[in-house]
């Protein structure tokens, strides 16, 4: 019997987080039974490709890669459950996942590495702590790292995203041309695929599920990717329903516009916190 691929963190009060070991993909985060993440109805769970939605783990490459698949291999390999799910004294529930190099990964990227990925489910928050370690004694390596977060929204055209004003961004819908964000809050009314550089440590996304706001805080993730395929790209994507683009927005914390250089024997750490803002005043 195949070992389980799905880990459920249950904090009671209908607050749960479900993680698929394929790609360490968080596939569900329910707060008082309200799903916060978008997963396409056409998502594939055959272990052959990335799950279309939730929060896939992007490493060692963001975007096209001459050595392997788009967005690297971490989101299409099976991770290990190191610890948990475990209830902490304060009621939070945590699990620790890990990934290390294998023949498969070394066939594309010939470096030893260790990743630990700690996920903590709090009352209205989901915390992500990532450690990338270079166990080599002589080889340094460089990598991108990004959490490819698909937020579920009633209508993406009503969302406003803070924390991007004044930032330079690479616009992948305009052949990678570089612009500066002039708007106080960014909105999405067309195909959007932007790598914003040196963004604020905090973004607020309005009009997520139940019309609430989502706070995204990030540490050691200097960049933020904003993506919505809109209709034409959705039509071109087999595991994305043609009618689904209004109900999602990707706000992706990452270290992508420049690679992380990891010297032998050293580690890199980065974190993200997602928080459902219940009190609209905050
Ligand atoms: O994060 C945005 C992006 O880089 C878009 O260009 C789009 O390709 C998206 O990732 C999804 O990529 P995927 O390989 O999962 O289809």
Q: Which architecture does CATH list for 3-154+216-277?
A: Distorted Sandwich (2.70)
Looking at the CA of residue 50, tell me the nearest atom of ligand 1: 15
Count the alpha carbons within 13 Å of 236 in the hemisphere toward its beta carbon: 6
For 194, residues 6+ apart whose C-beta sits below 8 A from its C-beta are: 169, 170, 171, 172, 173, 225, 226, 227
Question: Is the separation of the CB atoms in 3 and 80 below 8 Å?
Answer: no
Q: What is the pLDDT of residue 108?
A: 97
Phi, psi at residue 199, to the nearest 5°?
-85, 170
Q: At 18, which helix (H) or strand (E)?
A: strand 16-20
Residue 279's pLDDT is what? Answer: 72
Cα–Cα dist 63/114, whole Å:
21
Confidence at residue 2, expressed as pLDDT on a 0 to 100 scale: 61
Question: What is the distance between the alpha carbons of residues 282 and 280, in angstroms, rounded to a whole number?
Answer: 6
What phi-psi label fits residue 163: left (phi over 0), alpha (psi between -120 and 50 degrees) or beta? left
State the closest ligand 1 atom to the C-alpha of 225, by its place in the atom list counted from 1: 1
CB atoms within 10 A of CB 167: 19
- Expressed in angstroms, the distance from the first to the final Cα of the chain is 48
Kindly report the backbone phi and psi dihedral angles of residue 172, in degrees, each rounded to the nearest multiple of 5, phi listed first.
Answer: -75, -10
Backbone torsion region of residue 84, taken as left when φ is above 0, otherwise alpha when ψ lies between -120 and 50, otherwise beta: left
Pairing of strands 80-87, 93-100: antiparallel
pLDDT of residue 281: 66
| Residue 202 structure tokens | 């905090």
Alpha carbon distance 231, 237 (integer Å): 10
Tell me which residues of the chain have a pLDDT lower than 50: none
Structure tokens at 129: 């702590």
Residue 252 annotated as catalytic: yes
Q: Which atom of ligand 1 is nearest to the CA of 52?
A: 15
CB atoms near residue 239 (< 10 Å)? 14
- Active site includes 138? no
Q: Is 49 exposed, middle or buried (0-12, 13-18, 19+ CB in 10 A)?
A: middle
Which of 50, 64, 148, 235 to probe ligand 1 with, by most ligand atoms within 8 A of CB?
148
- What's the gap in Å between 230 CA and the centre of ligand 1? 12
Q: What is the pLDDT of residue 87?
A: 97
* Sequence spans of domains, the chain: 3-154+216-277
């Amino acid at each position: 019997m195949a070992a389980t691929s799905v880990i459920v963190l249950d904090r009671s009060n209908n607050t749960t987080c479900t993680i698929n070991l394929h790609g360490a993909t968080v596939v569900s985060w329910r707060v008082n039974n309200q799903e916060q993440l978008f997963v396409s109805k056409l998502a594939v769970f055959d272990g052959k490709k990335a799950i279309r939605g939730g929060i896939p783990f992007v490493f060692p490459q963001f975007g096209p890669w001459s050595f392997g698949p788009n967005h690297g291999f971490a989101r299409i390999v099976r991770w290990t459950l190191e610890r948990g799910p475990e209830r902490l004294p304060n009621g939070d529930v945590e699990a620790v996942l890990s990934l290390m190099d294998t023949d498969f990964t070394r066939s594309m990227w010939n470096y030893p590495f260790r990743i630990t990925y700690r996920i903590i489910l709090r009352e209205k928050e989901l915390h992500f702590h990532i450690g990338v370690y270079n166990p080599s004694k002589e080889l340094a390596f460089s990598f991108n790292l990004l959490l490819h977060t698909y937020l579920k929204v009633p209508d993406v055209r009503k969302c406003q995203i803070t924390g991007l004003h004044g930032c330079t961004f690479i616009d992948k819908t305009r052949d990678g041309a570089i612009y500066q964000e002039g708007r106080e809050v960014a909105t999405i009314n067309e195909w959007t695929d932007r790598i914003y550089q040196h963004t604020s440590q905090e973004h607020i996304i309005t009009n997520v599920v139940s019309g609430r706001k989502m706070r995204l805080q990030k540490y050691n993730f200097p960049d933020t990717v904003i993506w919505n395929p809109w209709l034409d790209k959705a039509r071109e994507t087999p595991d994305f329903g043609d009618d689904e683009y209004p109900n999602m927005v990707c706000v992706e914390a990452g270290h992508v516009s420049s690679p992380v250089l990891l010297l032998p024997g050293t580690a890199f750490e980065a974190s993200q916190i997602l928080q459902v803002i219940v009190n609209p005043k905050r």
